[in-house]
Amino acid sequence: MSDCIFCKIIAGDIPSDTLWEDENVIVFRDIDPKAPTHVLIVPKEHIVTFADFKEGQGDILLSMSKAARAVAEAEGVLDSGYRLIVNNGPDGGQEVLHLHMHLFGGRPIGPMIKRAE
Ligand code: DGP
């Protein structure tokens, strides 16, 4: 998609700190890291949300799983643990409308979500 920032990164039009890729997925460091390791696992195809996978795209999900493991290992957080988050839609806090999975690690990530006041 021409106006999608992640599509531009995938196309190489915007630079990124890429750690891993295969034919389905690219992994690069988040521009505004919230943990010592904070990377984004991004399908190369422009899929908007996690709800938008279609029949026949199971290989992309498998690549996302492989990417998470490979990058966690390379970053030294495979055994210490890490958190995977997919923000989906407005209430989910999704800012970039191209599916991506955050991987956070390198410190205890804390409680899953803050309880509403
Ligand atoms: P989300 O709120 O789940 O849509 O997170 C989007 C993330 O994308 C956010 O943590 C910042 C990151 N991000 C936005 N623009 C860029 C960019 O141009 N390069 C990189 N590396 N990360 C970006």
pLDDT, tens digit, 9 for 90 and up, residues 13-38: 999 999 999 999 999 999 999 999 99
Parse the chain into domains and list their residue ranges.
Answer: 5-105
Question: Ligand 1: distance of its center to the CA of 89 in Å?
Answer: 14
The finding on whether 57 has its CB within 6 A of some atom of ligand 1 is no
Question: Ligand 1: distance of its center to the CA of 30 in Å?
Answer: 6
For all residues of the chain together, what is the average pLDDT? 96
pLDDT, tens digit, 9 for 90 and up, residues 95-108: 999 999 999 999 99
Q: What residues are annotated to the active site?
A: 100
Binned at pLDDT 50, 70 and 90, residue 113 comes out as: confident
Predicted confidence (pLDDT) at residue 117 exceeds the cutoff of 70: no
Torsions phi, psi of 84, nearest 5? -110, 130
What residues have CB less than 8 Å from 56, skipping those under 6 apart?
none
Distance of CA 20 to the CA centre of its chain: 12
Angle (CA) 106-104-41 rounded to 5° is 130
5-105: CATH number: 3.30.428.10
95-98 contacts, C-beta under 8 A, 24 or more apart: 96/4, 96/5, 96/6, 97/4, 97/48, 97/49, 98/1, 98/4, 98/5, 98/6, 98/7, 98/42, 98/43, 98/46, 98/47, 98/48
